[in-house]
């Protein structure tokens, strides 16, 4: 299993708010390493959504926001749209593994 733990799936209705959690440990998120988030639309490559815990790359809507506390991080999506249906991955660094690590991914369904 993945070093960073995410829920396998979340869902919400259009217009609603959803959050996706990413739980790590003292050797990654808890050690102070940044958390980044990616969106992977069906059949496409991942795209950076949030970097450095809370920052959005140019072009990413402000409906997407990130936060971090202790050994966990969260991605929040407000005003859900059908085009937000995708897999979402968190990423950080793990000092025990000496490697960048990813969560297992969360599938977002917009009902």
Partner 1 sequence: QVQLQESGPGLVKPSETLSLTCTVSGASISSYYWHWIRQPPGNGLEWVGFIYYSGNTNYNPSLKSRVTISVDTSKNQFSLKLTSVTAADTAVYYCARSTTVTWNRWFDPWGQGILVTVSS
User: Applying CB under 8 A, which residues contact partner 1?
Assistant: 2, 33-34, 36, 38, 44-48, 51-52, 57, 89, 91, 93, 95, 97-105
Would you say 68 or 80 has its CB closer to partner 1?
68
Q: Which is nearer to partner 1, 73 or 80 (CB)?
A: 73
> Least distance in Å: CB of 45 to partner 1?
4
H or E, element range at 77: strand 72-77
Q: Which strands make up the sheet holding 18-23, listed edge to edge?
A: 18-23, 72-77, 64-69
CB contact at 8 A, 108 and 86? yes
Q: Can you tell me the distance from the alpha carbon of 107 to that of 85, in angstroms, rounded to the nearest whole number? A: 8
Strand partners, 32: none
Minimum CB separation of residue 87 from partner 1 in Å reads 9
Give min distance, CB of 84 to partner 1, in A: 19
């Amino acid at each position: 299993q993945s070093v960073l733990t995410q829920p396998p799936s979340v869902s919400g209705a259009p217009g609603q708010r959803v959050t996706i959690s990413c739980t790590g440990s003292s050797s990654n998120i808890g050690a102070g390493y940044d958390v980044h988030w990616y969106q992977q639309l069906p059949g496409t490559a991942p795209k950076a959504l949030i970097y450095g815990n809370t920052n959005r790359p140019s072009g990413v809507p402000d409906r997407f926001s990130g936060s971090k506390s202790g050994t966990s991080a969260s991605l929040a999506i407000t005003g859900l749209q059908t085009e937000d249906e995708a897999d979402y991955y968190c990423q950080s660094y793990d000092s025990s593994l000496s490697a960048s690590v990813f969560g297992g991914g969360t599938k977002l369904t917009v009902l």
